[in-house]
Amino acid sequence: MTRRSFVTSAAATAAAARMAQAAPYQPAPANLKAREWFQDAKFGLFIHWGVYSVLGRGEWVMNNEKIPITEYETLPPRFNPVKFDAAAWVGLAKAAGQKYITITSKHHDGFAMWGTKQNKWNIVDATPYGKDVLKPLAEECRRQGVHLFFYHSHLDWHHPDYYPRGRTGLYSGRPESGDFNRYLDFMDAQLTELLTGYGDVAGIWFDGHWDKKDANWRLRQTYDLIHKLQPHALVGNNHHLPPFEGEDFQMFEKDLPGQNTTGFSDESKIGALPLETCDTINVAWGYNSNDKRFKSTRNLIHYLAKAAGNNANFLLNIGPKPDGTIQDEFVTRLKDIGSWLSKNGESIYGTRGGPITPRPWGVTTQKGRTVYVHVLDWPDPMLLIPRLPKPAKSAKTLDGGQPVKTQLVDGGMLVHLPQRPAGDWNTVIAVETA
Ligand code: H79
């Protein structure tokens, strides 16, 4: 081979490799519109529900307690959620002021909460309940005007073709063999069912990629399939990494964008896509009967405001009980947040992060010419904030409409705060600017 022909063939190989790479993802107009809707919606209900709920020790119980598949398979016969009421669940989300629901279609245990035709490891074939729960939920969401996302685990502790295995699910007792591409075909077939049998799906929320960070997940192929079936569907992936090509939003788990209190958000640099952060009301995602560490309503409202002030949505989780009911501690908190939103929602819905970046005392959001100052933690009657980009014309409290005096001073703008009742959740000052 001459030198020249070597160079030519190397260049040809490189060109072929480039051709083989997927073209840059071009979101459809419907997808771009859905992203705007998503950012305006701001607040969603996360639901972790599966056969693990029976044990009441969270959704990681199979992995954490090293339960082999043979034993774990005794759970579906005990899962009979006769009190499941889709209308009540969607009604609760609405009462909380939530605009969308993201529910586990399949968590890491691989169990499908709908009547998948791809295997028998699903609610229709393996439980005494024998009914698809995603279908009535999808119908009820449509009826009540709530958008529906599916949380879908990449990781699977039950499927024999999830092989080679990753960092988790190592005690399931599966044979040490399997065909990962066949597993991915299975997953794409399941996703096709979800995207063709349940009406409009707002998006797919992936999780578990981190189990095998370096595997070839064929992400782009799966993302393209989703966008082909429903162009508006928003794809997000909780891989704790910066967004990959083909994704439509970026999420953070138990951390505000840019924070890393969990220890696994360090590589999730904030990208250009719409943002979402998710968190729990107590600690666990799936039902955990011993978990009494409930966050206060105040804390949750603050988190919602902080998410909005960081230009992100808040997806707040509940883990319903195995009988289909939702524990009171969750219901009361959700309703209290809804009551705060009924008076202060203007400072959350349809807003974007405000002109003043998040501060120890609180955050700002904005919509049009209005800047919303969320006073989360400030005991004194005066608050000094940086000058706004445009001069303030007037200011008032959002709840009650009490006029609020603002005053330009050296070093910023003084806000004369109204008297706030003890235990006040979040006093919002709406500042009209020129
Ligand atoms: O569905 C909920 C949880 O079950 C799931 N995501 C939320 C939305 C979740 N899975 N794992 N985690 C949450 C915690 C993640 C821990 C990790 Fe790791 C640290 C992943 C990678 C580093 C655990 C430890 C898995 C591998 C090492």
Return the CATH number at 426. 2.60.40.1180
Residues 387 and 336 in one domain: no
Average pLDDT over every residue of 135-156: 98
Query: From the CB of 210, is ligand 1 less than 6 Å away?
Result: yes
Residues 363 and 258 in one domain: no
CA distance 53 to 302: 29
Are 279 and 333 in contact by the 8 Å Cβ rule? The answer is no
Using the atom order of ligand 1, give the atom closest to the CA of residue 58.
4
Asked whether residue 173 carries a pLDDT value surpassing 90, the answer given is yes
With b meaning 16 or more CB within 10 Å and e meaning fewer, what string describes 236-249? bbbbbeebbebbbb
CA distance 207 to 240: 9
Is residue 324 domain-resident? yes
Is residue 361 domain-resident? yes
Query: From the CB of 198, is ligand 1 less than 6 Å away?
Result: no
Query: From the CB of 206, is ligand 1 less than 6 Å away?
Result: no
Residues 287 and 418 in one domain: no
Residues 348 and 388 in one domain: no
Instruction: Give the residue from 305, 332, 352 where a domain finishes.
Output: 352
Asked whether residue 10 carries a pLDDT value surpassing 80, the answer given is no
Closest C-alpha residue for ligand 1 atom 2: 285
- Write down the pTM of the prediction: 0.95
- What is the band of 160 on the pLDDT scale with cuts at 50, 70, 90? very high
CA distance 404 to 381: 11
* HEC-encoded secondary structure of 299-363: HHHHHHHHHHHCCEEEEEEECCCCCCCCCHHHHHHHHHHHHHHHHHHHHCCCCEECCCCCECCEE
Asked whether residue 373 carries a pLDDT value surpassing 50, the answer given is yes
Residues 317 and 421 in one domain: no
Are 148 and 198 in contact by the 8 Å Cβ rule? The answer is yes
CA-closest candidate to residue 312, choices 355, 258, 266, 262:
258
Residues 392 and 320 in one domain: no
Are 365 and 348 in contact by the 8 Å Cβ rule? The answer is yes
Both tokens of residue 198? 């349940």
- What is the band of 305 on the pLDDT scale with cuts at 50, 70, 90? very high
Instruction: Give the residue from 352, 377, 412 where a domain finishes.
Output: 352
Query: From the CB of 267, is ligand 1 less than 6 Å away?
Result: no
Instruction: Give the residue from 326, 352, 378 where a domain finishes.
Output: 352
Closest C-alpha residue for ligand 1 atom 14: 264
Average pLDDT over every residue of 306-319: 98
Residues 307 and 190 in one domain: yes
* Rounded distance from Cα 192 to ligand 1 centre (Å): 26
Using the atom order of ligand 1, give the atom closest to the CA of residue 285.
2
Query: From the CB of 285, is ligand 1 less than 6 Å away?
Result: yes
pLDDT in tens, 318-351: 999 999 999 999 999 999 999 999 999 999 999 9
Mean pLDDT over each residue of the chain, to the nearest integer? 95
Closest C-alpha residue for ligand 1 atom 22: 264
Query: From the CB of 120, is ligand 1 less than 6 Å away?
Result: no
Closest C-alpha residue for ligand 1 atom 19: 264
Are 265 and 255 in contact by the 8 Å Cβ rule? The answer is yes
* Rounded distance from Cα 226 to ligand 1 centre (Å): 24
Cα–Cα separations (whole angstroms), residue 134 to 186, 193, 197, 217, 413: 19, 12, 10, 26, 51
Is residue 4 domain-resident? no
Residues 335 and 380 in one domain: no
* Rounded distance from Cα 64 to ligand 1 centre (Å): 12
Residues 191 and 253 in one domain: yes
The residue to mutate among 107, 150, 167, having the most atoms of ligand 1 within 8 angstroms of its beta carbon, is: 167
CA distance 74 to 63: 16
pLDDT in the model for residue 21: 60
pLDDT in the model for residue 171: 97
* Rounded distance from Cα 62 to ligand 1 centre (Å): 14
Asked whether residue 314 carries a pLDDT value surpassing 80, the answer given is yes
Is residue 2 domain-resident? no
Is residue 7 domain-resident? no
* Rounded distance from Cα 295 to ligand 1 centre (Å): 20
pLDDT in the model for residue 17: 45
Residues 363 and 346 in one domain: no
pLDDT in tens, 179-220: 999 999 999 999 999 999 999 999 999 999 999 999 999 999
* Rounded distance from Cα 104 to ligand 1 centre (Å): 15
Query: From the CB of 253, is ligand 1 less than 6 Å away?
Result: yes
Using the atom order of ligand 1, give the atom closest to the CA of residue 263.
19
CA distance 195 to 193: 6
The helix/strand/coil state of 84 is: coil
Are 54 and 325 in contact by the 8 Å Cβ rule? The answer is no
Residues 419 and 280 in one domain: no
The residue to mutate among 102, 105, 253, having the most atoms of ligand 1 within 8 angstroms of its beta carbon, is: 253
pLDDT in the model for residue 123: 98
Q: Where are the alpha helices (DSSP H) in 21-102?
A: 29-41, 61-64, 69-72, 86-95
Dihedral of CA 188/103/100/239: which sign? negative
pLDDT in tens, 57-103: 999 999 999 999 999 999 999 999 999 999 999 999 999 999 999 99
CA distance 423 to 24: 50
Using the atom order of ligand 1, give the atom closest to the CA of residue 166.
26
Is residue 390 domain-resident? yes
Return the CATH number at 310. 3.20.20.80
Are 114 and 134 in contact by the 8 Å Cβ rule? The answer is yes
Q: Domain span at residue 422?
A: 354-433
* Rounded distance from Cα 262 to ligand 1 centre (Å): 10
* Rounded distance from Cα 415 to ligand 1 centre (Å): 42
Is residue 396 domain-resident? yes
Query: From the CB of 264, is ligand 1 less than 6 Å away?
Result: yes
Residues 259 and 318 in one domain: yes
Asked whether residue 236 carries a pLDDT value surpassing 70, the answer given is yes
Is residue 420 domain-resident? yes
Closest C-alpha residue for ligand 1 atom 11: 208
Number of domains in the chain: 2
pLDDT in tens, 264-278: 887 778 989 999 999
